[in-house]
Amino acid sequence: MNQDARRPMKTWLAIVLLLLVAAGCAHSRPDWIESTLVTVDVSGVWRGRVSRAGGVGDFGGVELTLQQNGAKVTGQITLTSLSSARGSRLEGTVSGDVFTFRTQDGTRSGELQVNGDEMSGMGTVPGSRARYELSRRE
């Protein structure tokens, strides 16, 4: 085969390889819009219960007072028990319908699925994994 006959074959081969590489790159990571999309507003007061992961034992009540600006969330978390209430400042984010937070001292955290005026999910309290279940009150 002469070189003029090989040129179209090389061009087609280059195009096919380019399309395969582009298709692989398109599916290698989540869309940046998907990871930054905010579809819920968690502002307000949320109250509920915190229990041990696996359902054995109850830590008592919890109250979140949240302020949201775009995807950024700030506020206060207060865990209550029969004898005391302890509060801590928190910072978090909303991505899609998931609210993720951590207290400034690092002792409490959560990743909670928001569904209207309810949210629930897993997190931590001092020394243990925990399940959070909350409802919006205000």
- For residue 36, tell me if it sits in a domain: no
Looking at the structure, do residues 110 and 49 belong to the same domain, yes or no? yes
Looking at the structure, do residues 124 and 69 belong to the same domain, yes or no? yes
Note down the domain range covering 130: 44-136
Looking at the structure, do residues 106 and 132 belong to the same domain, yes or no? yes
Q: What is the pLDDT along the chain (138 residues), one digit of tens a residue?
A: 555 656 667 777 778 776 766 666 555 455 555 555 778 999 999 999 999 887 677 888 999 999 999 999 999 999 887 556 678 999 999 999 999 999 999 989 999 999 999 999 999 988 789 999 999 996
- For residue 128, tell me if it sits in a domain: yes
Q: Which residue has the tokens 């399309």?
A: 19
Looking at the structure, do residues 14 and 61 belong to the same domain, yes or no? no
- For residue 37, tell me if it sits in a domain: no
This prediction has a pTM of 0.71
- For residue 38, tell me if it sits in a domain: no
Q: Report d(CA 7, CA 65) in Å as an integer.
A: 68
Name 122's Cβ contacts closer than 8 Å, sequence gap at least 6.
Answer: 53, 110, 111, 129, 130, 131, 132
